[in-house]
Amino acid sequence: MRKKGRLYLVLFIIALLGLIFYWILTSELFERQKPSIQIASKLYWNLRKPIDIKISDNSGIKSYTVTMDDGKNREVLEQRTFENPPKEVQLSLERPMKLEFPRNRAILHIEVQDKSLWHYFLGNRSVKDIKIIIDTKRPELYLVNNSYSITKGGSALVVFHCNDDNLKEFYVQTNFGKRFYAQPFYEEGYYAALIAWPVTQKRFRATLVAYDKAGNRSKVHVPLYLLNKKYRVSKITLKKNFLEGKVALLAEDYPETAKMDPLEKFKFVNETLRERNEQLIHKLTSKVPKEMFDSFSIKPFYPLKNGARVASFGDHRYYYYHGKLVSESYHLGLDLASTRAAPIKASNPGDVVFADYNGIYGNMPLISHGLGLYTLYGHCSTLFVKKGDQVERGETIAKTGNTGLALGDHLHFGVLVQGVEVRPKEWMDKKWIKDNIIDVLKEAKKIINSK
């Protein structure tokens, strides 16, 4: 009996120790994970913006100390011990006024202790050293040359200089939120950007903006004479045969339209599908080459020989059914018609970034010509190019047709600048191209050479 009792006692002690060991392993009191210190391992600091640090721990933060060493002096920036340890602390450190930063360098030293009883009741400790580069100088940013004017719905060119040892980003900011990015031009530190005034925006303003890694910012206004062109407004009455014909046929490709009536299908095609198709176009045409260039020998676009204009760019179309306004849209290209299945020519060399079916645009090649300039060819019956092809000036890329939302055989010719549809007429005008693009670049090169 005594042996049996001892065995039970031993088993009980083993079980108890097992439970205690399991409790230690699973309890937050004996949490084994080190505190988290969330901050980049290298910082650029302009001494004005606070340094933000986030520290956290599942068991709670017992204490922390933050010091900074500028190579000459060391200062405690913040130090604290908690009676009720929080699980998360946000720090926002201001400039230490006692430090002079003689070498524009510093080390930020962070120590955090949690309240865990792990490590023989000492808890877990995290230490992190952050390299800080002090940069209080704004990026060097100035205009070199730009187009004299920009027309509503049109394009312009900006050439500028931007330089900084710690340059982060630079772009042309507009009043409506769109950013236009630049391509390296001619010499290191110089850039050129095509910009656009969307036909849907009443006002236009462009500003060069540059940031360095420390958050220093430079801004320069781009002086452009604004030409507020008026565009056509059309009121279109929808016909039954159009709704039950072309629209219904186009909607058949989309299962979500199966239970829609003819008018609902039109709204789907003119609004929902149009938005999807244009989102794809904008995405594909928003890229700008990163390679340096020193000339832009673009020629006037003339995609369809003897093509007659059948619809203009910028037409704001209001659609009515039984006297009631039911939908609206903008026509963002130039419609040209010639003979049936007429050959469409590439007026300038470029890279094909898309050549496939795209909803209301039908069969549609998209070509990049550099500097963020793209051309679009909609409603084609036949495509002779594919994505990735390089086309040459004069090459036949497609034939006209009536695919997509087109009633008759024609070409929908579009021009885009970094994802914004612009007036094709400008890019079909030799004088406009010379005055606003070619001569601006030539003059910019002269200015750069004179420095």
| Per-residue model confidence as pLDDT tens digits over 287-303 | 999 999 999 999 999 99
Please measure the distance between the N-terminal and C-terminal CA atoms of the chain and give it in whole angstroms: 105
pLDDT (tens digit per residue) in 176-228: 999 999 999 999 999 999 999 999 999 999 999 999 999 999 999 999 999 99
Q: How confident is the model at residue 8, as a pLDDT?
A: 54
Mean pLDDT of 47-76: 90
Residue 118's Cα: distance from chain center in Å? 47
CATH superfamily of 233-418: Glucose Permease (Domain IIA) (2.70.70.10)
One-letter amino acid for residue 210 of the chain:
A
Strand order in the sheet with 179-180: 179-180, 167-174, 206-212, 217-221
E strand or H helix that includes residue 250: helix 248-251
The class of domain 140-228+440-450 in CATH terms is mainly beta
Residue 55's Cα: distance from chain center in Å? 31
Contact criterion met (CB below 8 Å) for 295 and 443: no
Which of 1-5, 9-13, 78-82, 346-350 holds the top average pLDDT? 346-350
Contact criterion met (CB below 8 Å) for 79 and 64: yes
pLDDT (tens digit per residue) in 369-420: 999 999 999 999 999 999 999 999 999 999 999 999 998 999 999 999 999 9
One-letter amino acid for residue 288 of the chain:
V
Mean pLDDT of 252-267: 93
Domain 31-134 sits in CATH 3.50.30.60: no
Contact criterion met (CB below 8 Å) for 166 and 135: yes
Q: Which 3 state secondary structure label does DSSP give 140?
A: strand
Q: Residue 273: phi, psi to the nearest 5?
A: -65, -40
Mean pLDDT of the chain: 91
For residue 30, pLDDT beyond 80: no
Provide the residue ranges of all domains of the chain, joining segments of one domain with +. 31-134, 140-228+440-450, 233-418
- Could you give the angle at the alpha carbon of 155 between the alpha carbons of 283 and 392, nearest 5°? 65
pLDDT (tens digit per residue) in 132-147: 999 999 999 999 999 9
Give the chain's length. 451
Q: Residue 44: phi, psi to the nearest 5?
A: -110, 125
The secondary structure of 199-224 as a DSSP string is TT-S---EEEEEEETT--EEEEE---
Return the number of other C-beta atoms located less than 10 Å from residue 446's C-beta: 10
d(CA 66, CA 59): 20
Please report which confidence band the pLDDT of residue 120 belongs to, taking 50, 70 and 90 as the band edges. Answer: very low
Q: How confident is the model at residue 109, as a pLDDT?
A: 94
**Could you tell me what percent of the chain has a pLDDT over 90?**
79
Return the number of other C-beta atoms located less than 10 Å from residue 339's C-beta: 12
